[in-house]
Amino acid sequence: MLPINAPAPAFALPDQNGAIHTLSEYAGRKLILYFYPKDMTPGCTKQAVGFAELNSQFEALGVTVVGVSKDSVASHKKFEEKYALPFTILSDVDKTCIEAYDVWKEKKNYGKISMGVVRTTYLIDENGVIIYASDKVKAAENPGKMLEMVRN
């Protein structure tokens, strides 16, 4: 996980519609950049739906929500359509952004060790500086906790 007060690494990734997004396009707004393991899985769905339900409140506060996983553009499109997700989901199949944000880690699941995306949420300020980071994210609670944080 990257430290607080570090500059957020630049990225250029396609969204669920194939359009390229960069970190610089969010300058002047706060950005919640959340990394999740996989589309359509129970935890990732709870997290995405939670952000979707609160999206208008984030937008009213000048905060943009963007999700990132290593799933394909096509997978993201299905995820967006199935759950009516109103925010951008970036596809990082090469893991360049995932690795730059230090969320590709060794994980243990039922005693098996493998590499994967550790669910991590960053809050980036208007100038591209990380002002909050957590890799101890509970999927269902994350959207509400982030809303509380940006309100304070």
| Residues noted as catalytic | 44
Amino acid identity for residue 97 in this structure:
C
Question: Rounded to whole angstroms, how far apart are CA atoms 126 and 54?
Answer: 20
Contact of 87 with 51, CB cutoff 8 Å: yes
Rounded Cα distance, 34 and 31, in Å: 9
Structure tokens, 26: 């969010």
How many Cβ atoms are within 10 Å of 105's Cβ, its own excluded? 13
